[in-house]
Amino acid sequence: MKIVIPDGDTLALPDMKQHILEIFSQYGEVVCNGTTRPEEVAEKIGDADAVLCNKTPVTREVIQACPNLKYIGLFATGYNNIDIPAATERNITVCNAGAYSTHAVVQHTFALLFSLAGNLNIYDKAVKAGEWERSPVFSYFPYPVHELYQKTFGIIGYGSIGRNVARVADALGMRVLVHTRTIPEHCEFPLVSQKEIFQQSDVVSIHCPLTDQTANLICKENLNLMKSSAYLINTARGGIVNEQDLADALNQDRIAGAGLDVLVQEPMSPDTPLKTAKNCLITPHIAWSAVETRERLLQIVSDNLKAYLAGNPINQVN
């Protein structure tokens, strides 16, 4: 079996690349490319039997150009970069890596929230600029710090990450509300409408996939429903947020702040209005990237491929 990895640089620091090769070489010949431009994908996959990718687009045209392709394994939970109908028509098995990043994304969700609620970035800059040194009293707090205790935490999406975020928010003494398209069994928190989530929440945290229904969900209309003191957290997909509408809401003080790990264009476009928006904390899509998380991801993708080769695919999405 020939296996092509078109975007290995998205997975590993340089000292982990050899580890990736060692894991997958047990299944056949492995060709690992650092990055692959969209127009190069078909050429890079070539006569391979399997492709293991993270965000590389595998379109209908790519699938048609790669006659030997039988398996697509994703180093990701989302699979919107794969043309699933085209793969299914060709009897190509597509498997994803569900729930591998739950713990890391939950951690990052609250890292963003804690920073916003405590104005930590502002205080760090102030201290290093000498403001504390010049303070007449021991405790210097000109910028507001807010407790999360008894605030309302609204969760949009209640999969593995959403459920675990809810448990942490509950442990912090917050009132948890949930809005989700698929009604979960035995949900321990109140299920509310989309409008109620935006109206009632002090924090709105997004944990749903990007679909036609969720694209631009965070828009002017829904932002106008939010409290002026509320925070928005997005560790899901950038396309769920209308970036201009969010920037306008922040700059006009219609909401208090936003913590974002994902943007519509990645790497970030220098033209995104969020780059200069007020009280907007942006991290470069790192919520999933903890060392332990990526080790878990590699093992899941390896197990998926092993199961496929044994004739019993697991985590198959088509």
Active site residues: 237, 266, 285
State how far the Cα of 193 lies from the Cα of 195, in Å rounded to an integer: 5
As a whole number of angstroms, the distance between CA 62 and CA 52 comes to 14
Q: How far apart, in whole angstroms, are the C-alpha atoms of residue 105 and residue 182?
A: 21
Nearest residue to 24 via CA among 43, 48, 49, 4: 4
C-beta separation of 240 from 217 below 8 A? yes
Residue 126 CA from chain centroid, whole number: 30
CA–CA dist 267, 24 (Å, integer): 28
Q: Which residues contact 186 (CB under 8 A, 6 or more apart)?
A: none
Among candidates 150, 262, 165, 172, which has minimal Cα distance to 204? 165
Integer Cα distance of 54 and 74 in angstroms: 6
Residue 142 makes CB contacts below 8 A (sequence gap 6+) with 126, 131
Full 3-state SS string of 107-125 = HHHHHHHHHHHHCHHHHHH
Encoded tokens for 22: 């060692």
* Neighbouring residues of 247: CB distance < 8 A, sequence distance ≥ 6: 273, 274, 276, 277, 280
Cβ atoms of residues 154 and 201 within 8 Å: yes
- The answer to whether the beta carbons of residues 222 and 204 sit under 8 Å apart is no
